[in-house]
Amino acid sequence: MNRYERWNRLLEMLAEQGQLDIETTAAALRVSGATVRRDFDELAAQRLVTRTRGGAAASNVTYDLPLRYKAGRHAPEKQRIGEAAAAMIAPHSTVGINGGTTATEVARALALRADLAADGRTPALTVVTNALNIANELIVRPHIRVVLTGGTARPHSYELVGPIAATMLDGVALDVAVIGVDAIDHRHGASAHHDGEAAVNHTMLATAARAIVVADGSKLGRRAFARICTVGEIDTLVTDTGADDEQAALLTEAGVTVVRA
C-alpha cells in the first residue's frame, strides 16, 4: 500500500469512525506507528483531519474528499465503467460531462476511442464540461472540441459551479449528459455532497436529450446531501459487476436501464 492509498484508507476510516488512535490504526493498516503518526501530521497540515493527542479526528472535508484522494478508490471498476459509457456516445455528438473520478474515466476513454481519432470530419465530438481537469486532458486531442462552462472553481473536485456555469449550460443543447454522482437511490434519485455541484449537474442533465449516470457499486442505495435529479430523469446507469443486485433491480423497476461493466 503506497502513501496515497494509505491516506485514502485513513480518510475512509475517519469518515466511518470519527476518530482514530495511532496504535489501533497501525495494526489495522499493518504499518508502524511512526508511519501512521507521519500520515496524520501530513493530513492535518492539509486540513483534511484534526490532530488529537495520540491520534486524529475527522474534519468536515472527510465526507467530501478532494478528487486527488478519491482517484484510487474502486479504480478498476471506474475504468470499466468509463469505457462502457464512452462506447455509448455516437460520433459528432455534443456531450456534457461533469467532474469526479468516474466521469473523468469516461472522458479518458473517449479520448482513446480509435474511431473518433480516425474520423475525417472535425470535430469528431464536442465535449461541454465544467471540470477543469477533464478540459485539460481533452484539449490536446485535436479531434475533440472542448467547451468550458465558466464559473467558480471548486478545489475539491476541480469543477466550475455557480450561476455563471448554470447560465452557460442553459444556453446549449446536449445530445447526452454523462454525470458522475456521489450516490444514487431508487427513491431519492442521484445526489452529490455539494449543493453547488448538484445544481450545475441538474442543469446539465436538463439540457440533454439523454441522461447517463456513471457510478461504481459503492454508490448504489445511498443518498448524499443535495439531489441532482430524480430517478425518472435518468435514462441509463452504468455501474460495475459488483453492484448490489437488489439495488440494481430496484433501479431497473424504476425505469432506469442498468448496464454493468
pLDDT at 61 over 50: no
pLDDT, one tens digit per residue, over 220-230 is 999 888 999 99
Nearest to 216 by CA among 120, 77, 110, 39: 77
* Between 155 and 67, the higher pLDDT residue: 155
* Between 172 and 64, the higher pLDDT residue: 172
Q: Output the average pLDDT for the chain.
A: 90
Confidence tier at 114 by pLDDT (50, 70, 90)? very high
